[in-house]
């Protein structure tokens, strides 16, 4: 029984080595599917990067606006101190 199992195992492994690997050649349809999938993935990454960039720009604009407002308040306070 063990000999038969070993023989079947060896035969199965040798047949696996003889058969050509499926990944060696892609069909046109499979190639198109992979390209479409890669394109969608790249588009998603681009959209995410654009969203992050817009968020960073908005944050920088808000920080700049806050800085300008702070400077204006400091100037107003200094002007009040000079005139009183």
Q: 52-75: per-residue pLDDT in tens? A: 999 999 999 999 999 999 999 999
User: Tokens representing 49?
Assistant: 């990067």
Q: Where are the domains of the chain?
A: 31-84
Q: 6-58: per-residue pLDDT in tens? A: 767 777 666 555 555 555 788 999 999 999 999 999 999 999 999 999 999 99
Question: Which distant-in-sequence residues (6+ apart) come within 8 Å of 34 by Cβ?
Answer: 26
Closest CA to 81 of 62, 64, 73, 1: 73
Q: What is the CA radius of gyration of the chain?
A: 34
């Amino acid at each position: 029984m063990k000999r038969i199992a070993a023989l079947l195992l060896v035969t199965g492994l040798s047949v696996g080595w003889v058969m050509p690997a499926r990944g060696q050649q892609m069909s046109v349809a499979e190639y198109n599917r992979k390209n479409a999938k890669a394109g969608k993935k790249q588009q998603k990454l681009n959209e995410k990067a654009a969203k992050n960039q817009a968020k960073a720009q908005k944050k920088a604009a808000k920080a700049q606006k806050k800085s300008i407002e702070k400077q204006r308040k400091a100037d107003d306070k200094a002007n009040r101190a000079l005139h009183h």
